[in-house]
Structure 1
Amino acid sequence: MDVEERGSTTPRRRKAAESRKRASGESSIYQDEDGRWHGFVSMGKKENGRRDRRHVSGARRTDVVAKVRVLEAKRDAGITEAAGRAPTVGDWLDHWLDNIAARRVRARTLESYRSTVRLHLHPGIGHHRLDRLQPDHLERLYGALADKGLSPASILRVHRVISRALRVASQRGTVARNVATLVDPPTVKRPQTALPLNADEARRVMAAAQAHRNAARWTVALAVGLRQSEALGLRWADVNLDNGTLTVRRGLHRVGGQGLIYEEPKADRSRRTLALPEQLVGALRAHRATQLEERVTAGSLWEDSDLVFAQANGRPIERKSDWHNWKALLREAGVREVRLHDGRHTAATLLLSEGVHPRVVMEVLGHAQMRTTTDTYSHVMPALGRDAADRMGNALWGPPAP
Structure 2
Amino acid sequence: MRVQRHTSGSVRYDKRRKTWNYLWYDGLIRRSKRIGTKREFPTKAAAWMEVDHLQIQQQKPQHGDTVRSVIVRYEAERMPSRPSTARVYRCCLKNHILPKWGDSLIQDIQPRPVELWLRELPLSPKSKTHVRSLMHGLLEYAMWSGILDISRNPISLVRNIGATRTVRKARSLTVEQFQALLTELQEPFATMALLSVCLGLRISEALGLRWSDVNWIASRLSVQRGIVNQIVGDVKTRGSAKTFDVAVELLDRLKSCRQHSDFSAAEDWVFASPFKLGRLPYSYTGTRQELERASKAAGIGHISSHVFRHTYRSWLDAVKTPIAVQQKMMRHQDIRTTMNIYGDVVTDEMSTAGLRVAELAFQFNGAQAERETS
Q: What TM-score bracket applies, with the shorter chain setting the length?
A: 0.5 to 0.7
Q: 1:266-297, CA deviations, whole angstroms, 9 ceiling, x for partnerless residues? A: 32221111111110011000000001xx349x
- For the pair shown, the structure with the greater C-alpha radius of gyration is 1
Q: After the TM superposition, which of the residue ranges 108-117 and 281-290 deviates more from structure 2?
A: 108-117
1:346 corresponds to: 311
- Select 1:195's aligned residue among 153, 160, 171: 171
Please report how far the alpha carbon of residue 85 of structure 1 lies from its aligned counterpart in structure 2 after TM superposition.
4.4
Give the letter for the 2:250 counterpart: L
2:86 is aligned to 110
Q: Normalized per residue, which structure has more helix?
A: 1
Matched position secondary structure for 1:222:
helix
User: Where does 1:239-318 land on structure 2 (aligned, <5 Å)?
Assistant: 239-254=214-229, 260-291=230-261, 294-295=262-263, 306-312=268-274, 313-314=277-278, 315-318=280-283
Following superposition, the deviation at residue 105 of structure 1 comes to 4.1
* Structure 2: gaps of 5 or more residues: 1-61, 340-374
8 A contact 2:67–2:105 mirrored in 1? yes
CA shift at 1:356, angstroms? 2.6
Residue of structure 2 in register with 1:132 after alignment:
108
Deviations 1:11-33 (A, max 9, x none): xxxxxxxxxxxxxxxxxxxxxxx
Aligned match for 2:205, one of 227, 230, 241: 230
Residue-pair matches, total:
272
Please list, as runs of the form range in 1=range in 2, the aligned pairs for 1:1-400 lying within 5 A after superposition.
Answer: 85-98=63-76, 100-102=77-79, 105-143=81-119, 145-146=120-121, 149-176=122-149, 177=151, 178-191=153-166, 192-209=168-185, 212-254=187-229, 260-291=230-261, 294-295=262-263, 306-312=268-274, 313-314=277-278, 315-369=280-334
Does the Cα contact within 8 Å between 2:291 and 2:303 map onto a contact in 1?
no
Asked if 2 retains the 8 angstrom alpha-carbon contact of 1:362 and 1:370, the reply is no
Output one character per residue of 1:52-104: Cα deviation in whole Å (capped at 9) or x when no partner.
Answer: xxxxxxxxxxxxxxxxxxxxxxxxxxxxxxxx942112211211222x213x5
Report the Cα distance in structure 2 between the residues aligned to 1:131 and 1:218, rounded to whole angstroms.
50
* Residues 338 and 163 of structure 1: CA distance in aligned 2, closer, same or farther (over 3 Å): same
Instruction: Give the match's secondary structure for 2:140.
Output: helix
Could you tell me how far 1:225 is from its partner in structure 2?
1.9
TM-score by length of 1: 0.61
Q: Indicate if the aligned counterparts of 2:83 and 2:228 stay in contact, CA closer than 8 A.
A: no
> 1: CA distance between counterparts of 2:298 and 2:220?
28
- Does the CA contact (< 8 Å) of 2:222 and 2:241 recur in 1? yes
CA distance 1:105–1:355, shift in 2 (3 Å): same
Identify if the C-alpha distance between structure 1 residues 112 and 186 changes in structure 2 by more than 3 Å, giving closer, same or farther: farther
Residue 11 of structure 1 corresponds to none
Distance in 2 (alpha carbons) for counterparts of 1:241 and 1:366:
23
What SS is found at the alignment partner of 1:120?
A: helix
- For 2:178 and 2:292, the matched residues in 1 are separated by 14
SS at match of 2:87: helix
Maintained 8 Å contact 1:245/1:276: yes
Against the structure 1 CA distance between its residues 336 and 120, is the aligned structure 2 distance closer, same or farther, given a 3 Å change threshold? closer
| Cα distance in 1, alignment partners of residues 134 and 249 from structure 2 | 46
- 1:361 and 1:157 mapped to 2: Cα distance? 27
CA contact (8 A) 1:358 1:370 kept: no
Q: Supply the distance in 2 between the matched residues of 1:115 and 1:334 (Cα, whole angstroms).
A: 34
Contact 1:230 1:248 in 2 (8 A): yes
Closer/same/farther in 2, CA of residues 317 and 345 from structure 1, 3 Å limit: same
Deviations 1:360-383 (A, max 9, x none): 3323322224989x9xxxxxxxxx
Q: CA RMSD in A?
A: 2.8
Q: C-alpha offsets along residues 205-229 of structure 1, whole Å, 9 cap, x if unaligned?
A: 33333x5444311211222221111
Amino-acid identity (%): 25
Q: Distance in 2 between matches of 1:168 and 1:157?
A: 16
CA contact (8 A) 1:202 1:222 kept: no
Q: Please list the CA deviations of residues 299-353 of structure 1 after superposition, one character each: whole Å capped at 9, or x if unmatched.
A: xxxx996111122232321112101111222233343443321222222222321
Structure 2 Cα separation of the partners of residues 132 and 369 of structure 1:
35
- Provide closer, same or farther for how the CA distance between residues 371 and 319 of structure 1 changes in structure 2, counting only shifts above 3 A: farther
**Conservation of the 8 A alpha-carbon contact between 2:132 and 2:155:** yes
Distance 2:224 2:174 in 1: 29
Return the structure number with greater relative CO, CA threshold 8 A, min gap 6. Answer: 2
Secondary structure at the counterpart of residue 273 of structure 1: strand
